Amino acid sequence: MDIRDVLRAQRIETPSWAYGNSGTRFKVFAQEGVPRDAYEKVDDAATVHRFTGVAPSIALHIPWDKVDDYAALSRHAGEQGISLGAINPNVFQEDDYRLGSVCNPDPAVRAKALAHLLECVDIMDATGSRDLSLWFADGTNYPGQDSIPARQERLSEALHQVYARLGEDQRMLLEYKLFEPAFYATDIPDWGTSYAHCVDLGPKAQVLVDTGHHAPGTNIEFIVAFLLQRGRLGGFHFNSRFYADDDLMVGAADPFQLFRIMTEIVLGGGLDASAGIAFMLDQCHNIEPKIPAMIRSVLNVQEATAKALLVDSEALRKSQVEGDVLGANAVLMDAFSTDVRPLLASLREDMGLDPDPIAAYHRSGHQEKLRAGRVGGSAAGWGA
C-alpha cells in the first residue's frame, strides 16, 4: 500500500448546513457572503473540494435543502466537480416535535415524522445518495415525563418501516448523542443503543459516530475499533469539542484523539472503499468564516490520516505481542510527532492543487467575491 495513493483516494464529505449562519441558543452571528439556497451551498462545498481535492461530495439536510428538482441540483453539483452525498432528515424543528418525533407519545406526530423519513428515501432515489443519516432529537427533559421502554418500542417500529423502504444500495446510518436537546433521557444516547437497533434491523443499518456526542471521558477510538471489527461502523460525523457538543473544527480540540481514531480506522482496514465507511464532517462555524474553516477541517482529517498511515504496524504489533508498553506507545507517538505537512504539500502538487490550500484560498479573492455577490435574498442559516 502506497501512502500517497491512499491519501489521494480519501473522500471527506462536507455538510451543507456548515456553510450557512449558525450559532448557539444565545446568538446566531450573521456573516457576509453566506449562501442563500441549496445551490449556493453546493457551490461552497465545491470550492472546498477545489482547494483540497479530497472533499468531493456534500451532505444535504431536508427540508433545509429542499429543492423542486433534485436531478437539477445533482447536475449542478456534477458541473462543479462534486456529488450529492448523505441525506439528513430533520424531525426536530417544528412545533409538533416538542415531545419527540418517532418516539412522540402522540401517534399522529409519529406518523408525520415517519412520512418525512420515507420522503427522504424518495429524495435519495432522486439524488442517488447511498446513506440516510438519521439523528433523532427525541428524548425527555424530566424524570417520569415519558416511558423509556415505550419510547424504545416506538423508535424500533419507525426504524423498521424505514429500513423496509431502503433500496438495494441504500443504507441507514443511526447516530447517537448523549444529550441536547433532550436534557434528561435521550432515546439513542450512546453507541450501544444504536448498535442494538442496527443488529435488530439488519446489515443495511449501521452506527454513525459523531465525535462530539459522548459523555466526558469516553474512549471514542475504542468504539470505532469495536464497531469496525463487527462490521457495524457506518461512518463519522467529525467535529471537535472541549466540553459538550461544541461543533468546533475537527482536530481543533484534540488532534491526538483524531489521530488515534484514524489509526484504528487504518489498522482495521476502514479506509478501504469496501468497508463502506462514510467520512463526513458535521460542524458549525459560529464565529469564524465558514469556507476557510471547512478547508482547515478537511486538512485536519487529512493530516491525521497521513499520520495514521505512517504508523509502523509491524513494529507496533511486535511490541504489543511482547508486552512492551513503552515500545508500543513509542511506535504510535513517532507517527504522531511527524510533521506530515511536507508530504501532503507534495501530494497536492501531484494532484494539480496548490500545496497550501488555505493560503491559496485567501489569495484567490473568492471570499471577497462572495461578499460582493451574495447580497439580497435571505442568508441561509442553521435551520434555513
For its own copies, which stretch binds (CB under 8 A), given 41-49, 52-60, 74-82, 324-332?
A: 324-332
Is residue 178 within 8 Å of 189, Cβ to Cβ? yes
65-104 residues near its own copies, rule: CB under 8 A? 92-95, 97-99
Q: Which of residues 122-181 bind its own copies (CB under 8 A)?
A: 137, 141-150, 152, 178-181
Nearer to its own copies, 119 or 254 (CB): 254
Nearest to its own copies of 28, 126 (CB atom): 28
**C-alpha to C-alpha distance for 225 and 213, rounded to whole angstroms:** 17
What is the per-residue DSSP string for 294-321? HHHHHHHHHHHHHHHHHS-HHHHHHHHH
Based on CB atoms, which residue is closest to its own copies, 167 or 184? Answer: 184
Closer by beta carbon to its own copies, 89 or else 268: 268
Check if the beta carbon of residue 344 is closer than 8 Å to that of residue 303: yes
> Can residue 222 be called a binding residue for its own copies (CB under 8 A)?
yes
Angle among Cα 211, 191, 130 to the nearest 5 degrees reads 75
CB of 158 to its own copies, least distance (A): 17
CA dihedral 111, 245, 56, 48 (to 10 degrees): 130
Q: Does 368 engage in binding with its own copies (CB under 8 A)?
A: no
Site size for its own copies, by CB under 8 A? 106
What are the residues facing 276 on neighbouring strands?
Answer: none
We find the least distance from the C-beta atom of residue 366 to its own copies, in angstroms, to be 15
- List binders of its own copies among 252-271 (CB under 8 A): 252-256, 260, 263-264, 267-268
Residue 119 or 356 having the CB closest to its own copies = 356
Nearest-approach distance from CB 51 to its own copies, in angstroms: 14
| Stretch binding its own copies (CB under 8 A), from 6-14, 38-46, 111-119, 240-248 | 240-248
Residue with cell 433534485: 70
Q: Does 108 bind its own copies (CB under 8 A)?
A: no
Q: Pick left, alpha or beta for residue 94 (phi over 0 → left; psi -120 to 50 → alpha; otherwise beta).
A: beta
Contact partners, residue 241, CB within 8 Å, separation at least 6: 211, 212, 247, 248, 253
Burial of residue 90 (CB within 10 Å: 0-12, 13-18, 19+) is buried
Binding mask 19-38 for its own copies (x = CB under 8 A): ----xxxxx-xx--------
- How near is the Cβ of 27 to its own copies at its closest, in Å? 5
Q: How far is the CB of 125 from its own copies (least distance, A)?
A: 28
Phi, psi (degrees; rounded to nearest 5) at 211: -65, -15
Q: What is the closest distance, in whole angstroms, from the C-beta atom of residue 29 to its own copies in the complex?
A: 5
Among 164, 169, 320, 350, binds its own copies (CB under 8 A): 320
Q: Which of 281, 360, 211, 291 is nearest to 10 (CA)?
A: 281
Exposure of 339 by Cβ count < 10 A (0-12 exposed, 13-18 middle, 19+ buried)?
exposed
Among 71, 72, 115, 325, binds its own copies (CB under 8 A): 325
